[in-house]
Amino acid sequence: MRGDRFEAGPERLQFVGRDGLRRINGTTRFTPQDPDAFQAEHRRLELTDCSFESLRVSACSGTIDAQPSTQREQLHLGTLVAGRSAWRTGKRTHDQQRGAVHLLRGTDAVEFDWAQPVHLLTVRIPVSAVPAHLLADGVLRSGVLARTPLTNGFSGFLHQLAAGPVVLDTVEHGHLDRALRALANGVLAVAAAESQVADDDLRYAIHDYIERHLLEPGLDPTRIASALRVSVRWVHQVFNHDGESVARFIRHRRLDLVAEALQADPRSSGVSGLSRQFGFGGRDQLTRAFRSRYGMTISEYRDRVRDSAPLPDRLPAPDERVQDRAIG
């Protein structure tokens, strides 16, 4: 393997064959097709807060464990200089091509498959150096980031850092550390904005799917996730940003349609018929849900419509009063 041109400062380790495979395996485990042909080179440059790493490795698959608690307060921003990387975090699959930038957290467990030799460059940045609003739940997700001029610039900067000699005095050491932190935070800020746009698009798609299938039995987060080809966890995370769950939203929309049907024709079908018409699991389920939503029974609501009496406002329906799973 051709070595990088680091001339001073960085740690350099090489791993060849079965013995090298044994030595390199740890929290990251490599599984090559031919252990005797395994080759890897790892170079690391420690700065004040950040660290910069270069990893060259022959074709293999493997896993990366979630890091020990002492290391979890780090974010990893990396780029693929050579090869192509297929990898998985949780239920999300990623396909990373050359020049793309990815984000990983110390808490991520990763499965990877490299069908050809790869060269990865990574900056590790402590969360203490990242603006707090970027670390809030749901703001940033692990994965391959959308390509932007800034991610392209970040990738190019790391490539040049790996290709050029690194001979740093104390002042330059500090300058490089601050430059990497500023650039990494810029990439994270843009990624957060891109993620928000993607979340807004998904939120609209979820609402649209619910409205088109609202009266169908079995409409639930699992079915929505399958139809939109995303994980159930992501559906919940994106939809629940304002505190209302998917299941509760579906139930409330159905109850509002029941109320509108009663207002349009108080002689409409009985509770059992309304239950079937509006996607509830049965008479009792609709009765309990309606009382929780409007503070009265369907019969009492129907009587108010007939008498032209004021209709009740919708009441908040906490989860403990009507379980989210009871949506039909």
DSSP string for 118-132:
EEEEEEEEEGGGS-G
- According to the model, what pLDDT value does residue 92 have? 82
Q: Is residue 254 part of a domain?
A: yes
Higher pLDDT, 18 or 133: 18
Residue 37 sits in the same domain as residue 102: yes
What is the total count of domains within the chain? 2
The residue among 31, 63, 26 whose CA lies nearest residue 42 is 26
Residue 168 sits in the same domain as residue 39: yes
User: How confident is the model over 218-233, as a mean pLDDT?
Assistant: 86
Q: Is residue 317 part of a domain?
A: no
Q: Is residue 215 part of a domain?
A: no
Distances in Å between the Cα of 34 and the Cα atoms of 17, 37, 41, 274 are 9, 6, 17, 65
Q: Is residue 148 part of a domain?
A: yes
Beta strands at 118-126 and 11-16: parallel, antiparallel or unpaired: unpaired
Residue 294 sits in the same domain as residue 236: yes
Q: Is residue 318 part of a domain?
A: no
Task: Look at 5-19, 120-134, 262-276 and tell me which has the smallest mean pLDDT.
Answer: 5-19
Indicate the average pLDDT of the chain.
Answer: 83
CATH number at residue 160: 2.60.120.10
- φ/ψ (deg, to 5) at 204: -65, -40
Residue 171 sits in the same domain as residue 281: no
Residue 96 sits in the same domain as residue 141: yes
Residue 116 sits in the same domain as residue 149: yes
Residue 259 sits in the same domain as residue 299: yes
Contact 214, 250 (CB under 8 A): yes
Residues 6+ apart with CB under 8 A from 40: 1, 14, 15, 16, 20, 24, 30, 55, 56, 57, 58
- According to the model, what pLDDT value does residue 2 have? 40
Q: Is residue 202 part of a domain?
A: no
Look at phi and psi of residue 321 and say left if phi exceeds 0, alpha if psi is from -120 to 50, else beta.
Answer: alpha
Residue 68 sits in the same domain as residue 176: yes
Residue type, 153: G
Other beta carbons within 10 Å of 57: 23
Residue 277 sits in the same domain as residue 225: yes
- According to the model, what pLDDT value does residue 229 have? 81
Give the C-alpha separation, 119 to 111, whole Å. 17
Residue 163 sits in the same domain as residue 250: no
Would you place residue 24 in the very low, low, confident or very high pLDDT band (cuts 50, 70, 90)? very high
User: How confident is the model over 218-241, as a mean pLDDT?
Assistant: 84
Residue 192 sits in the same domain as residue 226: no
pTM strictly above 0.75? no
Would you place residue 174 in the very low, low, confident or very high pLDDT band (cuts 50, 70, 90)? confident
Contact 165, 112 (CB under 8 A): no
- According to the model, what pLDDT value does residue 103 have? 93
Q: Which domain holds residue 165?
A: 11-197
CATH number at residue 273: 1.10.10.60
Per-residue pLDDT for 3 more than 70?
A: no
User: How confident is the model over 297-322, as a mean pLDDT?
Assistant: 75
Give the C-alpha separation, 250 to 233, whole Å. 17
Q: Which residue has the tokens 């001979």?
A: 167
Per-residue pLDDT for 169 more than 80?
A: no
- According to the model, what pLDDT value does residue 316 have? 61
- According to the model, what pLDDT value does residue 6 have? 38
- According to the model, what pLDDT value does residue 139 have? 77
Q: Is residue 319 part of a domain?
A: no
- According to the model, what pLDDT value does residue 17 have? 95
Q: Is residue 6 part of a domain?
A: no
Higher pLDDT, 200 or 10: 200
Contact 294, 314 (CB under 8 A): yes
Residue 38 sits in the same domain as residue 104: yes
Give the C-alpha separation, 282 to 157, whole Å. 62
Contact 50, 96 (CB under 8 A): no
